[in-house]
Structure 1
Amino acid sequence: MAEIGLTVSEDGGALLDFSGGGEIRESIALDEVADGPPALESIVLHFDFYGRLARIEITDSATSVLPPGLLDQSRPG
């Protein structure tokens, strides 16, 4: 099973890290996706050098975006 780091900050943001801290080459905010759920306004996808998804950032209201079971496993950021 792959290890995914989840850090939740005091300001309500969160970071799911698939890369183990690797370099990010490109980031795409999903706040401009039309007709999507409100949670998209808080999600930024980060991609590594090879174009693979490396991180998912929740910019605010992580408790509204992520499932409670996942948040229970997070570490403070």
Structure 2
Amino acid sequence: MAEISVKVDDSGGAYISLAAGEVRDSVQLDELEDAGRIAALESLVLHFDFYGRLIAVEVTSSASSALPPGLLDQAE
């Protein structure tokens, strides 16, 4: 099973690491055409490695609104 780590910062953001690797590309989901329909998309950023694999999800603000409480309970 993959080891997922969750880190929450003092400003209310969070970083969910899904795999080891260096971030090569990032996509801010607030740029999507339909992002206004789901409030959490405004604060999500997907991070991809060299091969285009998703390695992390970043919540830039209001992690408690964007993520399930159970996931935040495991935060470091």
Instruction: Normalising by structure 1, report the TM-score.
Output: 0.90
- In the alignment, which residue of structure 2 is the partner of 1:11? 11
Instruction: Quote the RMSD (CA, aligned, Å).
Output: 0.9
Higher mean displacement: 30-39 or 66-75: 30-39
The AA in structure 1 aligned to 2:24 is R
- Displacement of 1:19 after TM fit? 1.8
| Deviation per residue, 1:43-74 (Å, 9 max, x gap) | 00000000000100000000000000110011
Cross-structure match for 2:39: 38
Residue matched to 1:54? 55
Where do 4+ consecutive residues of structure 1 move more than 4 Å? none
SS at match of 1:31: helix
Q: After TM superposition, give the deviation of residue 34 of structure 1 in Å.
A: 2.7
Which runs of no fewer than 5 residues in structure 2 stay unpaired? Answer: none
**Matches of 2:48 and 2:31 in 1, distance apart?**
18
**CA displacement 1:15-46 (0-9 Å, x = unmatched):** 010123x2111000000223330100000000
Counterpart of 2:48 in structure 1: which amino acid? F
Which is richer in helix? Answer: 2
- 2:65 aligns to what SS in structure 1? helix
Q: Does 1:26 align with 2:57?
A: no
Structure 1: where are the runs of 5+ without partners? none
Identity of aligned residues (%): 58
